[in-house]
A and B are shown apart, each in its own frame.
Chain A
């Protein structure tokens, strides 16, 4: 079963749902040398979570989610580098707002379309954003990237240190808030509506659901979360490059989510974790061919585990519970 949602689902947090958080805290104490990679993974988990809301639950297929991630990253970077706004939480809020505005504006257009047209439009929007960032060199730094970003200590007390300890905890807490928000949404009546739209849009119209409006709302919320993830990346790296925009990060994100399992909330945790650790290790061992390893993993998952890595565990649990 996928994460059970709807009117019969028990919304209480199960003990297994605390495991990722315990693991994340354990990493902080046990693996201090991996904290900067850890923070990066946490950022991508938040990003994947935002995609899961629209793709996994509402069934909107998009290759343009980097537009919101990148916009959030650049808004945080530009405000800090050019306008001297350096309060981290204020920057998160600004990124969320900007991404939300872009989300509602582009969502209003693309969600009127379906299938391949929709996919192409999302791709086009991501490409346009990349090109704008590339050309607007005076503001974005263009291909050289945007540096000179100084971020204040969080609450004026916790500085971003060179070991990435503050960054890790900061990303973890932000991710926790994002997870909690998404979890509430998917268990709500609104979340049940999104699942219904994914399952059968024709019927949703026939039972009086304003499908388009619901999708635009979900898309906007998702865009805001993606924007926050982007801003987090800027703050922890103190740098923004063009690689946050365009097809590549969108595609990578989609691969991560499919790898972990879409539409099950925790697939967004497992996917980026496996993907980025594999990437890190493979890049060390085979600096030229690491993409091959990622490709093989994806082929195996798509061929043998359509529900992603979490789909495999579901199958095992079902076998274990059913007496032979």
Chain B
């Protein structure tokens, strides 16, 4: 079976600094896959290359077998790659509903219409609203995103990405900055995501990773150290050394 998303020999260097070194990676349909690694391992760089925000120095990115290495961000979104950001990247002064509706409208192809008021596009509003219901944000729909508590803003991050109806969803530290008590709410939301979306999650919260992911890839200094099931990763001596051990000591 062809994987939904695949990279072949993906490399990225900034001058002498290599942040991605020959990464071969595959994500199957409906996967729940985690990418972990110490700070500066190149996780976010890797995601940025998948979405087209950064161009790789060499190598390929394939989506459903199609080479998308040269495509821009908008074209990749159209083909089904959605992402969230490690640091909230929201439309702070707009309503929660609008934050989601912008992406939904873009997918419907109505976002460039400039004559009739946005409000008459009922399908866009309905879809955006349904997503807010799914994530438990419906009571905040009319409020300004900047006024929401941080944990809820993290959920808006996810809602925006879901509005794109992606085949592949890249979650860049969805629980970053959320107190551990509240991260349960994020996990709850993640567990309710449609089963057919292939999800790649980058996360530092190991508890969340091991409860959510079926497969884990460990990235160290831009290279894939090891890939396997959570059990395999947890018992891998090299991983314990570079990553878990480091965390235990620190």
Interface residues of A (CB under 8 A from B): 2, 5-11, 184-185, 187-193, 195-196, 199-200, 202-210, 214, 217
Q: Provide the residues of chain B in CB contact with A2, threshold 8 Å.
A: 93
CB distance from A262 to the nearest CB of B (A): 13
Known A-B contacts A199-B91, A199-B93, A208-B107; A192 and B102 likewise in contact (beta carbons under 8 Å): yes
Q: Which of B107-154 contact A (CB under 8 A)?
A: 107, 110-119, 121, 124-125, 128, 141-142
Of all chain B residues, which has the CB nearest A211? B74
Distance in angstroms from B122 CB to nearest chain A CB is 10
Partner of A189, one of B93, B95, B114: B114
A209 pairs with B102, CB closer than 8 A:
yes
Would you list which residues of chain B between 74 and 117 have a CB under 8 Å from chain A? 74, 77-78, 83, 85, 89-95, 97-98, 101-103, 105-107, 110-117
* Shortest beta-carbon distance from A304 to chain B in Å: 21
Q: Chain B: residues with CB nearer than 8 A to chain A?
A: 51, 53, 73-74, 77-78, 83, 85, 89-95, 97-98, 101-103, 105-107, 110-119, 121, 124-125, 128, 141-142, 160, 163-164
CA distance A281 to B195 in the complex (A): 69
For the complex formed, measure the closest distance between the CB of B133 and the CB atoms of chain A, giving whole angstroms. 15
Complex: A209 Cα to B76 Cα, angstroms: 11
> Contact check: which of A6, A184, A188, A204 meets B98 at CB < 8 Å?
A6
The smallest C-beta distance from A191 to any residue of chain B, in angstroms, reads 7
Question: Assuming A189-B112, A192-B98, is B117 touching A203 (CB within 8 A)?
Answer: no
Measured between alpha carbons, how far is A42 from B119 in the docked complex, in Å? 30
Residue of B nearest to A210 (CB): B74
Q: What's the minimum C-beta distance from B141 to chain A, rounded to whole angstroms?
A: 7
A204 — which chain B residues lie within 8 A by C-beta? 102
Contact B117 A187 (CB under 8 A): yes
Inter-chain contact A200/B89, CB cutoff 8 Å: yes
16 contacts between A and B (CB under 8 A): A6-B101, A7-B97, A7-B101, A7-B128, A184-B117, A185-B114, A188-B117, A192-B111, A196-B94, A199-B92, A199-B94, A202-B89, A208-B107, A209-B74, A209-B111, A217-B112
| A189:B103 contact, CB within 8 angstroms | no
In the complex, residue of chain B having the shortest beta-carbon distance to the beta carbon of A206? B83
Apart from A7-B98, A191-B114, list 7 A-B contacts with CB within 8 A: A6-B118, A188-B118, A189-B105, A192-B98, A193-B111, A206-B73, A208-B107
Please state if B114 and A207 are interface contacts (CB–CB under 8 Å): no
A214-B114 Cα distance, complex, nearest whole Å:
11
A192 closest partner in B (C-beta): B118
Residues of A within 8 A of B106 (CB): 193, 207-209
Instruction: Decide yes or no: A208 and B77 within 8 Å by CB, A192-B102, A196-B102 being known contacts.
Output: yes
**Judging by beta carbons under 8 Å apart, are A9 and B118 in contact?**
yes
Complex CA–CA separation, A5 to B95 (angstroms): 9
B94 touches A207 (CB 8 A): no
Which residues of B have CB within 8 Å of A210?
74
User: A205 to B71, alpha carbons, bound, how many Å?
Assistant: 13
Of the candidates B77, B98, B110, the one having the most CB atoms from chain A within 10 angstroms of its own CB is B98
B113–A189 contact, CB under 8 A? yes
Which of B85, B92, B94 is the most central at the interface, judged by chain A CB atoms within 10 Å of its CB?
B94
With both chains docked as a complex, state the minimum distance between the C-beta of B239 and any C-beta of chain A, in angstroms: 31
List A contacts of B101 (CB < 8 A): 6-7, 192
Check B89 against A203 for contact (C-beta < 8 Å): yes
- Nearest-CB distance from B12 to chain A (Å)? 19
Question: Given A7-B125, A200-B91, A207-B163, do A193 and B142 touch, yes or no (CB 8 Å)?
Answer: no
Min Cβ gap A179→B in Å is: 15
Contact residue among A9, A187, A191, A195 (Cβ-Cβ distance under 8 Å from B91): A195
Nearest Cβ in chain B — how far from A109, in angstroms? 19
Chain B neighbourhood of A207, CB < 8 A:
77, 102-103, 106, 160, 163-164
List the B residue with the shortest CB-CB distance to A10: B119
Identify the interface centre among B92, B101, B128, B141: most chain A CB within 10 Å of its CB: B101
Asked if A191 contacts B118 (CB within 8 A), the reply is yes
A187's closest neighbor in chain B, by CB?
A: B117
Most buried by A among B103, B113, B119: B119
Q: How far is the CB of B90 from chain A (nearest CB, A)?
A: 7
Q: Is there an interface contact between A7 and B89, defined as CB atoms closer than 8 Å?
A: no
- Find chain B residues with CB under 8 A from A10 CB: 119
Pairwise interchain contact B91-A189, C-beta atoms closer than 8 A: no
